[in-house]
Structure 1
Amino acid sequence: MAGWAIAVHGGAGVDPNLPQHRQEEAKRVIARCLDIGISALRSSLPAVDVVELVVRELESDPVFNSGRGSALTEKGTVEMEASIMDGEGRRCGAVSGLTTVKNPVSLARLVMDRSPHSYLAFSGAEDFARLHGVEVVDNDYFITEDNKGMLKLAKEANTIMFDYRIPTLVPDTCAASVENPLLMNGLPVSLYAPETVGCVVVDGQGRCAAATSTGGLMNKMCGRIGDSPLIGAGTYACGLCGVSCTGEGEAIIRGTLARDVAAVMEYKGLGLQAAVDFVVKERLDEGKAGMIAVSRNGEVACGFNTNGMFRGFATEGGFMEVGIW
Structure 2
Amino acid sequence: MGWAIALHGGAGDIPRSMPAERRQTREVALRHCLDIGVNALKTRRHALDVVELVVRELENHPNFNAGRGSVLTTKGTVEMEACIMDGNTKRCGAVSGLTTVVNPISLARLVMEKTPHIYLAFDGAEDFAREQGVETVDPSHFITPENVERLKQAKEANRVQLDYTQPIPKDAKSETPLADGDSQIGTVGCVAVDNEGNLASATSTGGFVNKMVGRIGDTPIIGAGTYANNLCAISATGKGEAIIRATVARDVAALMEFKGLSLKEAAAHVVEECVPRGTVGLVAVSSTGEITMPLNHTTRHVSACATEEGYSNWIWNSEEN
Where 1:68 maps in the other structure, the secondary structure is helix
For residue 18 of structure 2, give the secondary structure of its aligned residue in structure 1: coil
Size of the aligned set, in residue pairs, is 315
Q: Residue 233 of structure 1 is aligned with which of 214, 217, 224? A: 224
Aligned-partner residue type, residue 81 of structure 1: E
Counterpart in 2 of 1:165? 164
Contact preservation (8 Å) 2:158, 2:177? no
Return the offset for 1:170. 4.2
**1:24 corresponding residue in structure 2:** 24
1:6 has 2:27 as partner:
no
Deviation at 1:172, TM superposition (A): 2.6
5 Å-filtered alignment, 1:190-269, equals 191-269=182-260
- Match for 1:73: what amino acid? T
Distance in 2 between the 1:280 and 1:251 partners? 11
Aligned match of 1:321 in 284, 306, 313?
A: 313
Which segment drifts farther, 98-107 or 276-285?
A: 276-285
Deviation track 1:204-256 (CA, whole Å, cap 9, x = no partner) reads: 11111000000000000000000000010000000000000000000000000
- Partners of 1:274 and 1:183 lie apart in 2 by 32
Q: Distance in 1 between matches of 2:9 and 2:23?
A: 11
Matched, 1:135 2:129: no
**In structure 1, distance between residues paired with 2:15 and 2:74:** 23
SS of equivalent to 2:250: helix
Residue of structure 1 in register with 2:275 after alignment? 284
Structure-1 separation of matches of 2:281 and 2:233? 14
- CA displacement at 1:272 relative to structure 2: 0.9
Q: What SS class does the counterpart of residue 227 from structure 1 fall into?
A: coil
Determine the C-alpha separation between the residues in 2 that align with 1:296 and 1:77.
39
Q: Is residue 2:86 matched to residue 1:86?
A: yes
Q: Which digits, 9 at most, give the CA deviation of each residue in 1:156-210, with x for residues without a partner?
A: 1111122x335x624638x36x48x89546xxx4x42131000000001111100
Q: What TM-score comes out, normalization by structure 2 length?
A: 0.94
In structure 2, the residue matched to 1:126 is 126
- Name the structure 1 match of 2:41: 41
Q: Is the 8 A contact 1:27 1:322 kept in 2?
A: no
Are positions 1:103 and 2:117 aligned together?
no
- Aligned residue for 2:251, secondary structure, equals helix
> Match of 1:312?
304
Query: Which residue matches 1:299?
Result: 290
Query: 1:142, 1:237 → 2: CA distance?
Result: 30
Equivalent AA in structure 2 for residue 272 of structure 1 = L
Contact conserved, 1:194 with 1:217, CA < 8 A, in 2? no
Q: Is the 1:3–1:204 contact (alpha carbons within 8 Å) kept by the matching residues of 2?
A: yes
Structure 1: which 5+ residue stretches go unaligned?
none
Q: Residue 274 of structure 1 aligns with which residue?
A: 265
Deviation at 1:25, TM superposition (A): 1.6
Q: Read off the aligned partner of 1:169 and give its amino acid letter.
A: P
The amino acid that maps onto 1:266 is: E
Query: For residues 272-305 of structure 1, what are the alpha-carbon distances to aligned partners after superposition, in whole Å with 9 as ceiling and x for unaligned?
Result: 1111100101111356110000000011111101
**3-state secondary structure, aligned to 1:304:** coil
2:114 is aligned to 114
Question: Percent identity of the aligned residues?
Answer: 56
Q: Report the TM-score, using the length of structure 1 for normalisation.
A: 0.93
Q: Give the equivalent residue in structure 2 for 1:58.
A: 58
CA-CA distance at 1:143 after TM superposition: 1.6
CA contact (8 A) 1:83 1:94 kept: yes
